[in-house]
Amino acid sequence: MLLIGMVIGTENIIMNIIKEIVRAEKQKRSENDVERIYDDEPIIFTGTQMKNALMPKKYSEMRKISRSRNSPRMSDEEIFYLQARFMQDFEDDFEYKKRPIVSASKYADLSDKELRGYFSWRTKLRRGELEKAPREYASIYINELLNGVGYDTAEEGFFKLKGFFESFGEFCPDIRWNQHRCLIDYLVYNDLDAALLQDCQENRLERELLKLLDCENLDDDALFEAIAELSSYNVLKSKLYKLYPKQFERAACEAFRKMCAYWDKSRKVSYCENLFGRKKNRSYRPFVFAVFYDRKKYEKYEYRLSPFEKYCCENGRWIFEQTYDDLATNRELGELVKAVDRSLRLRLDVSPLKPQEEAKYVQAIIKETLDELFAPPQKVEAEIAQPAAIMLDLSKLDDIRSAADTTREKLMTEEEAYMPEVCSAGGERMHISEQERIIEHDDPLNAEEKEFIRKLLKGEDALAYTAELHIMPSIIVDGINERLFELFGDTVIDFEDEKPVLIEDYIEDLKGMMEK
């Protein structure tokens, strides 16, 4: 009896091997139009290969779900959900490293070997052994998590999903392209606390927008922080802000408040609606890019992600309501802040910015703001004290001039005494070298400095260019900043991570200079 059992067992193994070879041959013939590389496989199998050749029964039972009596009435998403539930605790140990033939997002897309490769990879993943794998495996795993498979509570599933995006993204960065949308959909569908996403960029901008909306009741420090965050103008790098931070902060906040009051009084929309968009409703479906089965079937449901975003579902129909549909750093707000910077520099006698035309009502609001905050200097002096009377003895002037000439002759070097001099239009004497410097002021940069700027504008390797010239990058950058300071009133090139970068506010002006 023992011998008979061994013979029967051997026959079963041989039959399974034959079936696997036949199935592989059929698959090869059916995919003759698909480019694929086939490897040689041994005819004689080792013990491990024979174990791998035996397909566990669980797989065939899982595939039967798609061929059941009810399957014609089921969608692909529902079939995947039922199969994922059926296989949620299954583990396998099968070595298969090849990438699937076709793009796969559900079990039905995989061959038997590919399917075993996936579940073996998932087994290691659940044990804490993250391995590089085909992107298709990651997509299927994400779809399992979205369908509630592999965890006990919805919150646990959120952290598994977020953690997988971050960890597997190290192997496959493009898996993260839909991460934020996927996590939001997960919160919405599972009615989780929106605070779980507080660290994301979008939520941070929403918090700053809330400050702008409450500008009348907010102190200057908090309001200016929001303005700087949502403005396209990098105010924190402004020379004026570095010299007079409190004055700048006060002026920018008051100008913003006056702009809001002006729009509320004279326009049909608020200033913030003008900047960041108006309320919109649009149709919505959670996990639109995933294989997802709607197992909750909400009849009437509402979820508020933030003060500006609300999701509603009624009898399976989803609607997304958004108050501000263009929430990002804003160019128009940046232009207002830069206009304040430009006007305030003139009041505080700081090197000016390049003139730029603003709308008349913007100019009027900024002027009114600065007039209220900064009184003209002569008025301030007059209020402080009356000027004292000064009496001059003109008879002493000749003696003063004579003494000054004698002192100058003693201090003058021999070279200075014989240096040619010319007269300026005002009659004052000036060395020729100084005159030449002023004549060349219209084109302050030399050829090497211009080429350095052009390479930065084009995104080319400016450091390699300085190496060719045998010049330290810091030296050429300092030279450019010094020569252009009178024109821009600020540095135009800065260093970030030891690399030279153009200040964003001056890029367009520099492009114009390089075209001349």
Question: DSSP string covering 177-197, please?
Answer: TTHHHHHHHHHHHHT--GGGG
Tell me which amino acid residue 124 is.
K
- Per-residue confidence (pLDDT) for residue 341, from 0 to 100: 93
CA distance 79 to 75: 6
- Quote the pLDDT of residue 71: 76
pLDDT at 22: 52
Can you give the pLDDT at residue 286? 93
Q: Is 229:333 a contact under the CB 8 Å cutoff?
A: no
Which amino acid is located at 132 in the chain?
K
pLDDT value of position 370:
93
Structure confidence at residue 384 (pLDDT): 41
Q: What is the structure's pLDDT at 195?
A: 86
Distance (Å, whole) CA 487 – CA 481: 10
Q: What pLDDT does 426 receive?
A: 37
The number of beta carbons lying within 10 Å of the beta carbon of residue 29 is 8
Residue 336 burial by Cβ neighbours in a 10 Å radius (0-12, 13-18, 19+): buried
pLDDT reported for residue 316: 87
Q: What pLDDT, on the 0 to 100 scale, is given for residue 208? A: 86
Task: Return all residues near 78 (Cβ < 8 A) that are at least 6 apart.
Answer: 293
Q: What is the pLDDT of residues 245-289, one digit of tens each?
A: 999 999 999 999 999 999 999 888 899 888 887 777 888 999 999
pLDDT on residue 88 = 95
Supply the pLDDT for residue 2.
Answer: 39
pLDDT less than 50: residues of the chain: 1-9, 29-39, 48, 50-51, 377-390, 392, 411-441
pLDDT of the residue at 42: 54
Note whether 350 and 489 are within 8 A (CB).
Answer: yes
Alpha carbons within 13 A on the beta-carbon side of 51: 7
Strands 309-314 and 317-322: antiparallel
Instruction: Please report the pLDDT score of residue 376 as a whole number.
Output: 58
pLDDT of residue 487: 74
Q: Which contacts (CB < 8 Å, 24+ apart) does range 47-56 have?
A: 50/13, 50/17, 52/94, 52/95, 52/116, 53/16, 53/17, 53/20, 54/13, 54/16, 55/16, 55/20, 55/112, 55/116, 56/92, 56/116
> Angle of helix 135-146 relative to helix 154-168, nearest 10 degrees?
160
Q: What is the pLDDT of residue 393?
A: 53
What's the pLDDT at 15? Answer: 61
Spatial distance between the Cα atoms of 351 and 487, rounded to a whole number of angstroms: 8
Q: Tens of pLDDT along 336-371?
A: 999 999 999 988 888 888 888 888 899 999 999 999
Angle between helices 245-266 and 331-348 (to 10 degrees): 130
